[in-house]
Amino acid sequence: MLTAQIYSGRPHQNDNGDVTENVIVDYSTDLTEMADSVRSSIVTVVTRANGLNHTCSGIIFADEPDGVYVFTSDSIIYDEGETAVYFDSAASSAAEVIGTDAATGTALLRIQPEFDVTVMKTAASEIVRQGEYAACMGGRSVLSGSAPISFGIVSRPAQRRVVAGGTWFAEVIDTDAAVSSEMTGGALMNIGGQLAGMILSRNVTGERMATALSANEMKLIYDEFIADGEVTRGTLALTVRNTSDMLAYEKSERNIRLDVTSGVLVTYIAENSSAEELILEGDILLSMDGAEIADAKTLREMLYEHQPGDVVVLSILRGGETAEESVELQ
């Protein structure tokens, strides 16, 4: 939607004989209004290390009694560095590094600002749809005073992908919105200004997609940091798809009853993983240690409750028959 403010004044005739009666003096769109509404929740993170300033963006994620928590990229964290958070107003606050998560490329900071802050509202990742409009926004530059923003669509929602090495398949969202390096750690948002994910990588030559870690996974990481001061999780080193999302012909092809709507379909298994010899692509994972795996979100939450080395018992539907396998998490 475009909203314009039009000034009506005395008609004016220029040298060419053209007459101007109304002049647009201001205008706004849904996107500009959304950007204005979230600016205070997106910050700039600067670390001084090795005589240089390293800069990226960050997101105000939580406001707790012990401080304000900011998500950002782990690329900004240096062992000997001093980190500060700069707000859209140009105010700044020294930051304490709570921890980093190498598997997702994220870091959590805590700050103690002497003023109220605005926590960014989040959108549940499962409602992010392919083709919906999306915006990417970074923090305001300390030098230029500008805050980068771009606009596009959600190209691939709810992807499971190794994003920073290891065997953890993080939940990510791809967008065709243009992303620069300073926007890393910034926000991927829906048109309502709700956080869909944190930007992990910019567009590179030959690849139009930028990638963001989903808001759902950010919440799991945040809870781990708050509870334990670090992020630990077990992984099966595989990707899955909700059976509830499968069409009737897809179920028929795999000999899955049409009334099976709970569980997840295994779509890929990493080579040399502990599950490789026990689980097959096309298996349906029904439960873990007796607890129902309703969907991919439930499985992810279960894995965050475990540690590498834990042995879990999976109930598996394969070829119309149910079996159990004990699998060691990595």
Check residue 24 and give its pLDDT: 47
- Tell whether 243 and 302 lie within a shared domain: yes
d(Cα 114, Cα 227) in Å, to the nearest integer? Answer: 25
- Tell whether 220 and 254 lie within a shared domain: no
What's the number of domains the chain is made of?
4
Q: Which residue has the higher pLDDT, 27 or 106?
A: 106
d(Cα 305, Cα 299) in Å, to the nearest integer? Answer: 10
Whether 62 is in a domain gets the answer yes
- Tell whether 93 and 179 lie within a shared domain: no
Contact between 35 and 137 (Cβ < 8 Å):
yes
pLDDT value at 73 more than 50: yes
Of the chain, the percentage scoring pLDDT greater than 70 comes to 89
Element (DSSP H or E) covering residue 218: helix 215-228
Residue 204's CB is within 10 A of a number of other CB atoms, namely 10
- Tell whether 263 and 199 lie within a shared domain: no
- Tell whether 18 and 78 lie within a shared domain: no
Whether 119 is in a domain gets the answer no
- Tell whether 148 and 101 lie within a shared domain: no
- Which of 195, 226, 257 terminates a domain? The answer is 226
- Tell whether 148 and 58 lie within a shared domain: no
d(Cα 4, Cα 22) in Å, to the nearest integer? Answer: 12
d(Cα 210, Cα 140) in Å, to the nearest integer? Answer: 20
d(Cα 100, Cα 312) in Å, to the nearest integer? Answer: 27
d(Cα 285, Cα 204) in Å, to the nearest integer? Answer: 36
Q: At 255, is the pLDDT very low, low, confident or very high (cuts 50, 70, 90)?
A: confident
Each residue of 91-104: pLDDT tens digit? 999 999 999 999 99
Q: Which two tokens stand for residue 90?
A: 């140009």
Check residue 304 and give its pLDDT: 96
- Tell whether 260 and 188 lie within a shared domain: no
Element (DSSP H or E) covering residue 299: helix 296-304
d(Cα 259, Cα 261) in Å, to the nearest integer? Answer: 6
Each residue of 177-214: pLDDT tens digit? 999 889 999 999 999 999 999 999 765 445 678 999 99
3-state secondary structure 20-54: EEEEEEEEEEHHHHHHHHHHHHEEEEEEEECCEEE
- Which of 78, 111, 144 terminates a domain? The answer is 111
Q: What is the mean pLDDT of the chain?
A: 88
Check residue 12 and give its pLDDT: 52
pTM for the full predicted model: 0.85
Angle (CA) 174-106-143 rounded to 5° is 90
Whether 51 is in a domain gets the answer yes
Each residue of 128-172: pLDDT tens digit? 999 999 999 999 988 778 889 999 999 999 888 888 777 899 999
184: CATH: 2.40.10.10
Whether 179 is in a domain gets the answer yes
Whether 163 is in a domain gets the answer yes
Report the amino acid identity of residue 303.
Answer: L
- Tell whether 76 and 30 lie within a shared domain: no
Q: Which two tokens stand for residue 135?
A: 């915006």
Check residue 28 and give its pLDDT: 53
d(Cα 198, Cα 185) in Å, to the nearest integer? Answer: 6
Report the amino acid identity of residue 91.
Answer: A
The range of the structural domain enclosing residue 55 comes to 45-111
Q: At 88, is the pLDDT very low, low, confident or very high (cuts 50, 70, 90)?
A: very high
- Tell whether 54 and 22 lie within a shared domain: no
Tokens 């992810």, residue located: 300
Contact between 43 and 120 (Cβ < 8 Å):
no
Check residue 253 and give its pLDDT: 84
Check residue 15 and give its pLDDT: 61
pLDDT value at 7 more than 50: no
Lowest-pLDDT choice from 4-18, 208-222, 258-272: 4-18
- Which of 65, 85, 111 terminates a domain? The answer is 111
Q: Is 272 left (phi over 0), alpha (psi -120 to 50) or beta?
A: left
254: CATH: 2.30.42.10
Q: At 124, is the pLDDT very low, low, confident or very high (cuts 50, 70, 90)?
A: confident
Check residue 94 and give its pLDDT: 97
Check residue 25 and give its pLDDT: 46
**Residue 244, φ and ψ in degrees, nearest 5:** -65, -20
- Tell whether 76 and 151 lie within a shared domain: no
Nearest to 137 by CA among 212, 75, 26: 212
Whether 233 is in a domain gets the answer no
Rg value, the chain, Cα: 24
99 DSSP β-pair partners: 108
Whether 260 is in a domain gets the answer yes
- Tell whether 20 and 105 lie within a shared domain: no
Whether 32 is in a domain gets the answer yes
Name the 3-class secondary structure at 304: helix
pLDDT value at 10 more than 60: no
Q: At 21, is the pLDDT very low, low, confident or very high (cuts 50, 70, 90)?
A: low
